[in-house]
Amino acid sequence: MRLVLFDLDDTLVDLAGAFGRWAVEFVGDHDLPSHAVSWLVAANRRATGPKDRLFAEIRAHFGLTDPVDRLWGRYRSRIPELVALRPFVLDGLVGLRAAGWRLGVVTNGQPDNQVAKLRRTGLADHVDGWCVSAEVGVRKPDPAIFRSAARRCGRPIEDGRIDGWMVGDSAELDVDGGRRAGLATFWISHGRPWPADLTPPDRVASDTHLAIQALLERR
């Protein structure tokens, strides 16, 4: 039984595009100047860690009166309605399962937001399990979250290491974390160079469907 775990945001779904659409709505809802859209997109791109930190920064920057929890909660409710699958992903997942692969999703975030994305895009019907960080109390790149995801897909763990693949767009969270869990790693580069201070991935693809095709071609 072969296993592949996928990151969710900007690997299986286009979160960057959805965030841009959300930013336009947010600026309109709060009567902010049009150039605030580019500020929001840039702030999201450089943000690391839990998303509530980003909304604390947004609130302070624009002098908003709504509490951070409310701003963040509204985002979590809206963003699943705006996300779309990355190109050819669903067909690729269908092909992997038909070829006998077990498929899982391992993602940082809140269950209301992340599981809603899985369900609204149809991904939930095409994977064997998923693991959301806030649900299990540990975040990528901690190897424990990869082990939890593998178990939910029915994959046995030997000596704390997982026999399978991790596919994701974050060098630190997905590739380095997956490697430390014993997984082979496939980095989705989106045209970016690999960080020189990290151990390189086993494979690189510019987009997710190309990584899926490469896995399907493995014998």
Residue-wise pLDDT tens digits, 149-180: 999 999 878 777 888 999 999 999 999 999 99
> Which residues on adjacent β-strands are paired with residue 130?
105
Same-domain status, 122 and 44: no
Rounded to an integer, the average pLDDT of 70-86 is 97
Half-sphere exposure of 198 (CA within 13 A, CB side): 19
Q: What is the pLDDT at residue 176? A: 98
pLDDT band at 131 (very low <50, low <70, confident <90, very high): very high
Q: What is the pLDDT at residue 158? A: 76
Whether 66 shows a pLDDT value over 70: the answer reads: yes
Same-domain status, 64 and 101: no
pLDDT band at 67 (very low <50, low <70, confident <90, very high): very high
Same-domain status, 23 and 111: no
First-residue to last-residue Cα distance in the chain: 13
Q: How many domains does the chain have?
A: 2
Residue with the two structure tokens 């009567």: 31
Same-domain status, 118 and 197: yes
Q: Examine the fold and report which residue of 82, 117, 134 is the final residue of a domain before the chain moves on.
A: 82
pLDDT band at 219 (very low <50, low <70, confident <90, very high): low
> Which residues on adjacent β-strands are paired with residue 104?
5, 129
Q: What is the mean pLDDT of the chain?
A: 96
Measured CA distances, 145 to 26, 138, 148, 151, 181 (Å): 32, 6, 5, 10, 9
Q: What is the pLDDT at residue 82? A: 98
Q: What percentage of the chain has pLDDT greater than the value 90?
A: 92
Same-domain status, 132 and 171: yes
Same-domain status, 123 and 193: yes
- CATH number, domain of 150, equals 3.40.50.1000
Same-domain status, 100 and 61: no
Measured CA distances, 119 to 29, 31, 77 (Å): 27, 32, 13
Same-domain status, 89 and 32: no
Same-domain status, 9 and 46: no
Whether 28 shows a pLDDT value over 70: the answer reads: yes
Q: What's the burial of 90, exposed, middle or buried (CB within 10 Å: 0-12/13-18/19+)?
A: middle
Same-domain status, 60 and 123: no
Rounded to an integer, the average pLDDT of 182-199 is 96
Distance CA 164, CA 138 (A): 20
Same-domain status, 116 and 209: yes
Rounded to an integer, the average pLDDT of 35-43 is 98
Residue 161's closest CA among 174, 143, 140?
A: 143
Same-domain status, 46 and 107: no
**CA–CA–CA angle 20, 64, 42 (5° rounding):** 30
Q: Examine the fold and report which residue of 32, 58, 82 is the final residue of a domain before the chain moves on.
A: 82
Domain that holds residue 170: 2-14+84-216
Q: Examine the fold and report which residue of 63, 82, 101 is the final residue of a domain before the chain moves on.
A: 82
Whether 76 shows a pLDDT value over 80: the answer reads: yes
